[in-house]
């Protein structure tokens, strides 16, 4: 049975409103399902993915394009709204937080000490200790569900510590967001960013490295499709997005059909 074409059609995919299986496919939406986010979309099962060799601008132009599933982009960074950008920042912060905590586990630290030069390893862990407080402070709360069966096997074993959901002081939140913004500056040396690139072939390091890449692209070109400028996202823009994500907490996203803020993170 042919489906009616309506105002919600996207790249030839039409909205199915007849109630049959697959209803809702093609509806334009700013929220993303897990398989639509950048790490899933950019994963290449057969070898080196192309994004690793592209310029940041080329990556940004690609991730800002709509998907045939109905998603308007593969990262909420591509939205002009601070609330949506805050969700994207929180995805990045969660992956970075888990990555940094994992690096601090005794087993992983022992591996790093074996493969990295002693002075470089020391700088790497010193940077973790300096950056982690800002990552943790800016990470917004998420309601935790209880997993069982196969879901319990897929749940993140890397999250060795949980972020306690407490109200953040706005002034401190802005200060820590500014620290993270400055840390993203590609002209500054970072052992953490170096290790993310070095280890980003699969699993948690891959997911964290993709979020890191997309965040770097956002910082440099996030306003490219919204303003007649060079696209640069200012420190104030970045802080506003962090603040807005904390404002909504886990109470839900305005204008969305999902039940709460990070249903699809």
Give the pLDDT confidence score for residue 135 in this predicted structure.
96
Give the pLDDT confidence score for residue 202 in this predicted structure.
55
Give the pLDDT confidence score for residue 228 in this predicted structure.
62
The tokens describing 37, both together, are 């986010």
* Range with the largest mean pLDDT of 11-25, 197-211, 227-241, 249-263: 227-241
- Rounded mean pLDDT, 182-198: 90
pLDDT (tens digit, 9 = 90+) per residue, 58-115?
999 999 999 999 999 999 999 999 999 999 999 999 999 999 999 999 999 999 999 8
**Residue 71 main-chain phi, psi, to 5 deg:** -65, 140
CB count within 10 Å of CB 227 equals 11
**Which has more confidence, 24 or 248?**
248
* Exposure string for 20-29, b = 16+ CB within 10 A, e = fewer: eeeeebbbeb
Give the pLDDT confidence score for residue 147 in this predicted structure.
64
0.95 surpassed by pTM:
no
Give percent of the chain above pLDDT 70.
Answer: 71
pLDDT (tens digit, 9 = 90+) per residue, 114-156?
989 999 999 999 999 999 999 999 999 876 666 666 666 566 5
**Which has more confidence, 35 or 257?**
35
């Amino acid at each position: 049975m042919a489906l009616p074409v309506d105002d919600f059609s996207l790249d030839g995919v039409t909205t199915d409103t007849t109630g049959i299986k697959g209803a809702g496919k093609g509806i334009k939406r700013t929220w993303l399902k897990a398989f639509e986010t950048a790490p899933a979309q950019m994963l290449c099962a057969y070898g080196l993915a192309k994004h690793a060799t592209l310029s940041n601008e080329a990556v940004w132009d690609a991730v800002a394009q709509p998907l045939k599933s109905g998603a308007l982009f593969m990262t909420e960074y591509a939205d002009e709204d601070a609330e949506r950008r805050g969700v994207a920042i929180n995805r990045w912060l969660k992956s970075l937080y888990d990555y940094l905590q994992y690096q601090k586990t005794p087993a992983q630290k022992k591996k790093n000490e074996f493969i990295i030069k002693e002075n470089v390893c020391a700088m790497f862990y010193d940077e973790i200790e300096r950056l982690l407080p800002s990552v943790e402070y800016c990470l917004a709360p998420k309601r935790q569900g209880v997993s069982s069966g196969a879901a319990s096997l897929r749940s993140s074993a890397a999250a060795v510590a949980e972020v306690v959901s407490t109200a953040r002081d706005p002034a401190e939140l802005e200060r820590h967001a500014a620290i993270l913004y400055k840390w993203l500056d590609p002209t500054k040396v970072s052992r953490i960013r170096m290790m993310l690139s070095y280890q980003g072939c699969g699993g948690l390091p891959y997911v964290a490295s993709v979020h890191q890449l997309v965040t770097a692209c956002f910082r440099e070109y996030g306003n490219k499709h919204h303003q007649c400028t060079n696209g640069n996202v200012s420190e104030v823009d970045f802080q506003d997005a962090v603040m807005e994500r904390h404002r909504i907490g886990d109470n839900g996203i305005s204008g969305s059909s999902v039940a709460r803020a990070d249903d699809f993170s």
